Structure 1
Amino acid sequence: MLLLRNCTAVQFEPCRVEQDIDIVIEGEKIVDTGSNLAGRYPQAEIKDMRHRLVMPGLVCAHNHFYSGLSRGILAPIAPCPDFISTLKNLWWRLDRVLDEESLYYSGLICSLEAIKHGCTAVIDHHASPNLIKGSLATLHRGFVEAGLRGMTCFETTDRNGGLKELEAGVEENIAFAQLVKNNTRGGLVRAHLGAHAPFTLPDAGLDMLKEAQRQTGCGLHIHVAEDRYDVSHSHHHYGLDPIKRLDKFGLLDEKTVIAHALWLQPDEISLLNQRGACLAHNARSNMNNNVGYNAHLPDYTLAALGTDGIGADMFEELKFAWFKHRDAGGPLWPDSFLRMLYNGNVILERNFEAKFGRLEANYTADLTICDYVSPTPLLSDNLAGHLAFGMNSSSVNSVMVAGKMVYENRTFPFDVEPLYTSARKAAGELWKRMAALD
């Protein structure tokens, strides 16, 4: 049993800031919170938080750990005047040359850096068309070794190998779902059913995913309408809006995560809301790819924040999401984006059969602990403003996942420098393989 003493306890939904709070943890769960609890739990190990901010763990709702070795990439990249050329010239070349070593280090380093930036969980979306079988188990290894909670899936597509590639992608999703099924209680990682985007998924692929959904009970994780091309392709080839096409195959439910969705029609958004699906909004990625702005954010019942592979700094992502919305003349205020940050916990609750996102008894002990000294009062009413205009990931002191400190006093419990050395070597070899594709 562990007692975190003298916390400044922070919750996002509803916003709450409380001083001098003790948090008692046993196993993976919070068992009690309140003031002066040491006398009630004399057997507990005590860690004095010295009034650090203790908050429910931050969740990244959409990421691509396979891109972790692309930072500062030196492989030759042809000009990319639009989004589709960016996919073809950069990302679809990188994912084709991933091997087991580069994928392992990419996933492990991304997991470590997510933790260092305050994340306790990441919802990942994977692609490696020449390394399909076993790829999710390799990513799983990185999650577990780092101590990060999360989900992952393989992005089913036919863009490289037609029907055989579709089948292999679906089989990998099913195999991974079966692998983690035995870890329903206590395991850190769960499975989604991955799909790239409707424009690289023929009806045969959607049929396969529906059958996989029936077999596994897992939800769909897919990019939709990131670019206008996805919409026009769906209209031209299928005579349907992309969300309606997915719904035609029965693929939308409360476990569904739809990434981006910039160019949906209002009735498609209403349909997503009816099905209980979650939008993963990726503000920085949308800006980087110049695909436009999601002006319909206020219309979603459930929206969460992701990064689409641009790290896992959710403090930074919240700021960009807020400032871009403000720049676009949107009506929301920072509290709406703080709620989106909280909503990553809703995804976890729908997949982990546990409670997340609050500092209360029976909730999972996934915690982000920060040093944050403010020149102004930190109150329940202005918490969102502190997140939008002040606090950042440099304040992260410690991170707890499932009741275990995986990062404490800005230090991991093992030496990470050799891992970074190996990752740099793997990245160099990866870039050489990309260059050799030309």
Structure 2
Amino acid sequence: MKILIKNVTLLDLMPSFSVRPEMDVLIENGQIRKVEKGLCEQAEKIIDAKDKYLIAGNVCSHHHYYSGLSRGMLISSGPQTDLIQILKEWWWRLDRALDEEAVYYSSLICSIDAVKSGCTSVVDHHASPSFINGSLDIIKKGMKEVGIRGVTCYEVTDRNEGEKEVREGIDENIRFFFSTENDPLVRGMIGAHAPFTLPEYAMEGLEDAVDRTKAGIHIHVAEDRYDQVYSHHFYNKDIIKRLDDHNLLRDNSLLVHGLYLSDEEIDLLNERGCFFAHNPRSNMNNMAGYNTKLDRIKKLVIGTDGCGADMFEELKIGFFKHRDAKGPFWPSDFVSALERGNELVSSAFGGEIKTGQIKEGYKADLVILDYNAPTPVKNENLATHFVWGMSSQNVESVIIDGNLVMEDRKMCFLDEKEIYRKAREVAEKVWKRADKIRS
């Protein structure tokens, strides 16, 4: 479909931070074709966006779609006073309770929520130990039915069934990567849980998978001190050195959390060109601590760790927590980190696509905002408006890969009400299964 957006104010959220009023944008075959004033073009769909803003869609650089049915989960659980207890008493019981149906509805719900929040790309990290083989196809199915751009992987771990589980996870990553390497909307990475659930044979298998696919690894590191202590005790190495010894630190790798990395480890991941995802709300919720070294990280991106995909909210809370911790970042630094997620997505697509800017030749992953600013929006204060003023409530319409996915706050392809009704039924079944599982 050819779409023409008229009379809109373009907001460039890359570090240049520019505001361009009364512009027209022509979209065709999934790409931005023209960006000019006063375009006279025929189009199947013409959107008059006068007094509204157009941004490149937000990116959630680390999500857990498997958590999609966890909201308000009612299960009996033991103490949850630290991250390891939270994992054992909550998340590792939930993920074992997921079957194919639950994974599908988790993917649908998370994708819909993301789109409605103005998020056009999600980098997912999946786990369903009772349903590994084929699970990523179900994640992809939900993503594509909604129309969101996605990257997913399976988190390899030995925590339930040892080597058998590791092998199945690696095989699922490799199979899915090659099955989607030409997919226009969804691609794969190589997933891994965290070093403390990855013995040496698992690291060797992951190294082989990365070598075969050339995909980046997507892995949690040092979310808790336990991860570092475990690595020092059993391997006499820092976490990052252990990953590097297996050639897993590459320029398309994604490391997540890293609250307890040393300066030397950060220098090494920077030297290798890795992406690094900061997840402020999750860190606060899990009582994991705060990353005081964000300013040392070169390729910082922003994720949610499964706390939805409202990147407006994530950025606000992340900024305020950073200020509370007396960090040096300003709104522009956080917005730049959010936008860097587009580089991550491009790398996962093998450099075949460009997103994140409203320019000719870029993918048409765009969001129309109905933001009635009470003060002038200028180049110099755009990042401040993003953090202090704009929110997901301003998201009016969303275009992904040139397709109108949401218009006037209504999903275009789906019966959202019916999906949510069915999701509630599926969630009840998941909760009952999870309640019977003991850590």
Query: TM-score normalized by structure 1?
Result: 0.97
For residue 30 of structure 1, what is the amino acid of its counterpart? I
For residue 238 of structure 2, what is the amino acid of its counterpart? D
After superposition, give the CA deviation of every residue in 1:185-239 in whole Å (9 maximum; x if it has no partner).
xx21010100000000011111101111121111100000000100111111111
* Match among 311, 315, 320 for residue 318 of structure 1: 315
Q: Is the 8 A contact 2:4 2:43 kept in 1?
A: no
- In 2: Cα distance, 1:124 partner to 1:130 partner: 18
* Match among 3, 6, 21 for residue 23 of structure 2: 21
Query: 1:192 and 2:189 equivalent?
Result: yes
The equivalent residue for 1:239 is 236
What SS class does the counterpart of residue 112 from structure 1 fall into? helix
The equivalent residue for 1:373 is 372
The equivalent residue for 1:30 is 32
- In 2: Cα distance, 1:404 partner to 1:130 partner: 35
What SS class does the counterpart of residue 385 from structure 1 fall into? helix
After superposition, give the CA deviation of every residue in 1:25-70 in whole Å (9 maximum; x if it has no partner).
11111111121112xx345742211231100010000000000100
- In 1: Cα distance, 2:431 partner to 2:337 partner: 35
Query: 1:301 and 2:302 equivalent?
Result: no
The equivalent residue for 1:201 is 198
The equivalent residue for 1:113 is 113
Shift of 1:252: 0.9
Q: Which deviates the most, 77-86 or 281-290?
A: 77-86
- In 1: Cα distance, 2:182 partner to 2:57 partner: 25
Q: Is the 8 A contact 2:98 2:130 kept in 1?
A: yes
Q: Structure 1 residues 43 and 152 mapped into 2: Cα distance closer, same or farther (>3 Å)? A: closer
Query: 1:102 and 2:102 equivalent?
Result: yes
How many positions carry a matched residue from both structures?
A: 433
- In 1: Cα distance, 2:84 partner to 2:436 partner: 21
For residue 350 of structure 1, what is the amino acid of its counterpart? S
- In 1: Cα distance, 2:45 partner to 2:38 partner: 14
Q: Superposed, which structure 2 residues align to 1:408-423 within 5 Å?
A: 408-413=407-412, 414-423=414-423
For residue 311 of structure 1, what is the amino acid of its counterpart? G
Shift of 1:358: 0.5
Q: Superposed, which structure 2 residues align to 1:9-408 within 5 Å?
A: 9-13=10-14, 14-38=16-40, 41-42=41-42, 45-183=45-183, 187-352=184-349, 353-408=352-407
- In 2: Cα distance, 1:428 partner to 1:180 partner: 32
Unaligned runs of 5+ in 2: none
- In 1: Cα distance, 2:124 partner to 2:59 partner: 11
After superposition, give the CA deviation of every residue in 1:121-162 in whole Å (9 maximum; x if it has no partner).
100000111110010001000000000101000000001111
- In 1: Cα distance, 2:306 partner to 2:45 partner: 38
Q: Is the 8 A contact 2:60 2:121 kept in 1?
A: yes
Unaligned runs of 5+ in 1: none
- In 1: Cα distance, 2:255 partner to 2:420 partner: 32
Q: CA RMSD in A?
A: 1.0
- In 2: Cα distance, 1:420 partner to 1:214 partner: 40
- In 2: Cα distance, 1:88 partner to 1:157 partner: 14
What SS class does the counterpart of residue 62 from structure 1 fall into? strand
- In 2: Cα distance, 1:87 partner to 1:390 partner: 35
What SS class does the counterpart of residue 181 from structure 1 fall into? coil
- In 1: Cα distance, 2:117 partner to 2:419 partner: 18
Q: Which deviates the most, 348-357 or 169-178?
A: 348-357
For residue 156 of structure 1, what is the amino acid of its counterpart? V
- In 2: Cα distance, 1:400 partner to 1:45 partner: 12
For residue 52 of structure 1, what is the amino acid of its counterpart? K
- In 1: Cα distance, 2:186 partner to 2:52 partner: 29
Shift of 1:82: 1.0
- In 2: Cα distance, 1:361 partner to 1:371 partner: 24
Q: Structure 1 residues 86 and 7 mapped into 2: Cα distance closer, same or farther (>3 Å)? A: same
Shift of 1:16: 1.0
- In 2: Cα distance, 1:421 partner to 1:2 partner: 32
After superposition, give the CA deviation of every residue in 1:365-391 in whole Å (9 maximum; x if it has no partner).
000111000110011110111111111
- In 2: Cα distance, 1:269 partner to 1:7 partner: 41
- In 2: Cα distance, 1:384 partner to 1:67 partner: 30
Q: Percent identity?
A: 48
For residue 11 of structure 2, what is the amino acid of its counterpart? V
